[in-house]
């Protein structure tokens, strides 16, 4: 008899629960997420009643497990992952841009060094050639002066002895 009474009490409780159900409302929270529940938080400007729910009926009927909320959570998670992926891609692009910029600067500096080295070598060669010509010219002039003085000496001696 006891088991029949307890079964009857459980049956009455299960049948009476939907009769005490409260209204289910929906609103948009501060994050922009559509939320369902029986009582919106303070400061919410817009609410709409969408149906009845048995309060405390279990996790399947709670706001967190409501299909619409689950869908919005999944969409929010997808958006968050997509944003993280875009941020990683942007960071990778920025790293590549900075690496390319660094390579370009190194190449430019190397070209400048090569150009300066080439110019330096060219001007050093021209300077050496010019110095060589100058030295050769002085040698020729010295030889010419020596020859002229020797010739003058010979003429003097010829005049002295050949008169």
CB 53 within 8 A of CB 22: yes
- β-bridge mates for residue 163, sequence order: none
Question: Is pLDDT above 80 for 100?
Answer: yes
Q: What is the pLDDT of residue 22?
A: 60
Chain segment 45-60, per-residue pLDDT in tens = 666 776 654 444 444 4
Question: Is pLDDT above 90 for 69?
Answer: no
Average pLDDT of the chain, as a whole number: 77
Question: Is pLDDT above 90 for 78?
Answer: yes
Question: Is pLDDT above 60 for 70?
Answer: yes
HEC sequence for 96-113: HHHHHHHHHHHHHHHHHH
Q: What secondary structure does DSSP assign to 122-135, as a single string?
A: HHHHHHHHHHHHHH
Question: Is pLDDT above 70 for 118?
Answer: yes
Q: What is the pLDDT of residue 60?
A: 46
Question: Is pLDDT above 50 for 3?
Answer: yes
Q: What is the pLDDT of residue 151?
A: 76
Q: Which residue has the higher pLDDT, 17 or 152?
A: 152
Task: Kindly calculate the radius of gyration of the chain based on its CA atoms and give it in whole angstroms.
Answer: 52
Question: Is pLDDT above 70 for 5?
Answer: no
Question: Is pLDDT above 90 for 81?
Answer: yes
């Amino acid at each position: 008899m006891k088991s029949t009474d307890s079964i009857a009490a459980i049956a009455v409780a299960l049948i009476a629960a939907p009769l005490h159900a409260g209204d289910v409302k929906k609103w948009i929270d501060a994050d922009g997420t559509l939320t369902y529940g029986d009582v919106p938080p303070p400061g919410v400007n817009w609410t709409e009643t969408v149906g009845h729910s048995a309060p405390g009926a279990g996790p399947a009927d709670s706001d967190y497990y409501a299909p619409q909320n689950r869908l919005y959570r999944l969409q929010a998670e997808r958006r968050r992952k997509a944003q993280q992926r875009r941020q990683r891609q942007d960071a990778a692009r920025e790293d590549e841009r900075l690496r390319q910029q660094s390579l370009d600067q190194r190449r430019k500096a190397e070209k400048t060094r090569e150009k300066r080295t080439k110019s330096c070598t060219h001007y050093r060669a021209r300077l050496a050639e010019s110095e060589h010509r100058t030295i050769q010219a002085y040698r020729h002039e010295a030889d010419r002066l020596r020859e002229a003085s020797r010739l003058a000496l010979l003429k003097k001696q010829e005049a002295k002895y050949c008169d």
